[in-house]
């Protein structure tokens, strides 16, 4: 242990012993207050003629000890005041007993034993240090010698030396025990101090470890998200390559079918009049089917177009229409769609990616609506609304499904987190939506009430106007 560390511990130990000394001095004062008047019984047996005087002295001693005790409870004491008060409890009875010795038989008085008790109490009750005990012993010995010398009777040297011997012997025994006790107490304090420092270091290391664990968990989460985005990008790239070939193969037959329908429409005049109506209805149905296929192919081409990084002003109505067309077969006659979009509402985003966002949100709503039983005339419904604020545009997608439980709310945008059964979803949809909105300088939030609704809000900053 370095000298600085040893000095620091010694300083803390001295402060600790001071607080212990004050606490124990309060106990000692209470003992003086109680025991000094009780000694009148001994006075009545040994010095009955001096009982009135001794009673006054004992009561004064108790009163003074009470004043010391009251003062010790003060919180604003200087070091000098503390030292004087902590000595007061043993000075008071020592002076009183020495006066009784001097006022009666001097060296022959058996009251010297009271001084031995005070010496014993100094080391045991208040657990004084070696220096404090030594000062108390010298003071008490001086009082005893002075009381014997000032006594009116001649000194009985044999008894004087005998009593002085016993006082000195008591002092040696008490001081020896005091030395060993204080060594043990200092060692114990040092061990507690080292233990406290070790505990503090462990707590600091735990805090540091927790911080590192949190940082590691955040890093793992970012890597997981990046991995999921990479997987999704690869899937989209594969889908784009596959779709390009499929679109080419579908377009050629569509062109033949369109040309054939045009020719059939021109030949309609040669059909018998009674068959004209049925003929035209069939042609109309076929034309609508071919047109629908063309729209799907067009949407698929846009959805898988390789240029998906550019941001532009996108017509929200067109995006929503395209997304609904992708899921029209699942929604038909099953879900009510209610739109409240502002006319010519635009947002600054990537068109194809925004379609992807709406497809994911609509698909989640459809899956949720399937799991909720509807009663009292309520129907599965999806609401799509737009809110144009001063600095941003908000698009709302709301359904009256079962909502999201509170324990899932903090994780729904995490990659690979899903509450669906195995095989029904990978948990990438909302994380992709979150990423797309982040790329568009926007954000996606959710508001829900279990058993009643779930609402996703897409917020886009308005495109700043160009300087003139």
Give residue 305's pLDDT.
53
- Half-sphere CA count of 119, side-chain side, radius 13 A: 27
- What CATH number is attached to the domain comprising 441? 3.30.565.10
What average pLDDT does the segment 113-142 reach?
83
Q: CA 93 to CA 111: how far, in whole Å?
A: 12
Joined tokens for residue 417: 């987190």
Structural domain of residue 359, as residue ranges? 308-461
Q: 108 and 228, same structural domain?
A: no
Q: 273 and 180, same structural domain?
A: no
Q: 367 with 454: CB under 8 angstroms?
A: no
Q: 353 and 402, same structural domain?
A: yes
Where a domain ends, among 241, 267, 295? 295
Q: For 79-138, give the secondary structure using H, E and C.
A: HHHHHHHHHHHHHHHHHHHHHHHHHCCHHHCCCHHHHHHHHHHHHHCCCCCHHHHHHHHH
pLDDT at 131 exceeding the cut of 90: no
Digit-coded pLDDT (tens) for 397-411: 999 888 888 877 777
Q: pLDDT confidence of 306, banded at 50, 70, 90?
A: very low
Q: CA 286 to CA 158: how far, in whole Å?
A: 142
> What total number of domains does the chain contain?
3
| 300 domain-assigned | no
Q: Which of 3-17, 322-336, 444-458 has the highest mean pLDDT?
A: 444-458
Q: 137 and 34, same structural domain?
A: yes
What average pLDDT does the segment 248-263 reach?
78
Give residue 422's pLDDT.
47
Digit-coded pLDDT (tens) for 178-217: 777 777 877 887 888 788 888 888 999 999 999 999 989 8
For residue 157, CA distances in Å to 46, 106, 210 come to 21, 11, 77
Q: 251 and 198, same structural domain?
A: no
Q: pLDDT confidence of 2, banded at 50, 70, 90?
A: low
**Opening angle at CA 387, ends 381 and 391, nearest 5:** 150
Joined tokens for residue 440: 């568009």
Q: 431 and 399, same structural domain?
A: yes
Joined tokens for residue 8: 């620091």
Q: CA 447 to CA 24: how far, in whole Å?
A: 64
| 468 domain-assigned | no
Q: pLDDT confidence of 309, banded at 50, 70, 90?
A: low
Digit-coded pLDDT (tens) for 145-169: 999 988 888 888 888 899 889 988 8
| 30 domain-assigned | yes
Q: 147 and 17, same structural domain?
A: yes
Digit-coded pLDDT (tens) for 70-107: 998 887 888 888 888 888 888 999 999 999 999 998 88
Q: 174 and 90, same structural domain?
A: yes
The answer for 78, left when phi > 0, alpha when psi is -120 to 50, beta otherwise, is: beta
Q: 27 with 200: CB under 8 angstroms?
A: no
Digit-coded pLDDT (tens) for 318-346: 889 888 888 887 777 788 888 888 888 88
Scored b (16 or more CB within 10 A) or e, 404-414 reads beeeeeeebbb
Mean pLDDT of the chain: 81
Joined tokens for residue 352: 């194809």
Instruction: Tell me the residue length of the chain.
Output: 468
Q: CA 194 to CA 217: how far, in whole Å?
A: 34
What average pLDDT does the segment 279-301 reach?
75
Q: 90 with 118: CB under 8 angstroms?
A: yes
Give residue 57's pLDDT.
93
Q: Give me the residues paired with residue 312 across strands.
A: 349
Q: At CB < 8 A and 24+ separation, what contacts does 439-445 make?
A: 439/350, 439/353, 440/311, 440/347, 440/348, 440/349, 440/350, 440/353, 440/354, 441/348, 442/347, 442/349, 442/392, 444/357, 444/413
């Amino acid at each position: 242990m370095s000298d600085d560390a040893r000095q620091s511990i010694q300083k803390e130990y001295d402060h600790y012993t001071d607080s212990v000394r004050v606490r124990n001095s309060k106990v000692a004062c209470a003992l003086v207050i109680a025991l000094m008047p009780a000694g009148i019984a001994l006075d009545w047996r040994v010095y009955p003629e001096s009982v009135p005087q001794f009673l006054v002295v004992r009561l004064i001693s108790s009163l003074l000890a009470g004043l010391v005790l009251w003062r010790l409870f003060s919180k604003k004491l200087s070091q000098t005041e503390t030292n004087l008060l902590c000595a007061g409890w043993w000075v008071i009875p020592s002076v009183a007993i020495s006066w009784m010795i001097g006022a009666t038989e001097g060296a022959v008085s058996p009251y010297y034993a009271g001084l031995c008790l005070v010496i014993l109490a100094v080391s045991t009750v208040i657990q004084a240090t070696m220096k404090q005990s030594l000062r108390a012993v010298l003071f008490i010995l001086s009082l005893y010698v002075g009381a014997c010398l000032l006594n009116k009777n001649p000194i009985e040297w044999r008894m004087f030396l005998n009593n002085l011997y016993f006082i000195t012997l008591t002092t040696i025994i008490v001081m020896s025990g005091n030395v060993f006790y204080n060594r043990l107490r200092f060692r114990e304090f040092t061990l507690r101090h080292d233990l406290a420092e070790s505990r503090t270091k462990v707590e600091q290391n735990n805090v540091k470890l927790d911080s590192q664990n949190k940082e590691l968990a955040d890093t793992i989460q970012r890597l997981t998200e990046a991995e999921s985005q990479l997987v999704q990008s690869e899937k989209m790239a594969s889908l784009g390559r596959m779709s390009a070939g499929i679109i080419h193969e579908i377009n050629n037959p569509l062109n033949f079918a369109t040309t054939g329908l045009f020719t059939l429409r021109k030949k309609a005049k040669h059909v018998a009049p009674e068959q004209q109506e049925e003929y035209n209805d069939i042609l109309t149905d076929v034309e609508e089917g071919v047109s629908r296929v063309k729209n799907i192919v067009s949407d698929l081409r846009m959805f898988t177009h390789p240029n998906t990084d550019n941001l532009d002003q996108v017509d929200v109505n067109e995006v929503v229409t395209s997304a609904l067309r992708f899921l029209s077969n699942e929604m038909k006659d099953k879900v009510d769609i209610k739109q409240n979009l502002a006319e010519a509402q635009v947002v600054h985003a990537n068109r194809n990616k925004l379609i992807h966002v709406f497809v994911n949100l609509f698909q989640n709503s459809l899956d949720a609506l399937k799991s909720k039983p509807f009663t009292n005339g309520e129907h599965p419904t999806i609401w799509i609304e737009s809110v144009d604020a001063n600095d941003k545009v908000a698009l709302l997608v709301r359904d009256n499904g079962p909502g999201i439980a509170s324990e899932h709310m903090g994780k729904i945008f995490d990659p690979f987190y899903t509450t669906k059964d195995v095989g029904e979803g990978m948990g990438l949809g909302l994380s992709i939506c979150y990423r797309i909105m982040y790329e568009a300088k926007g954000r996606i939030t959710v508001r829900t009430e279990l058993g009643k609704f779930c609402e996703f809000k897409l917020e886009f900053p308005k495109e700043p106007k160009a300087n003139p």
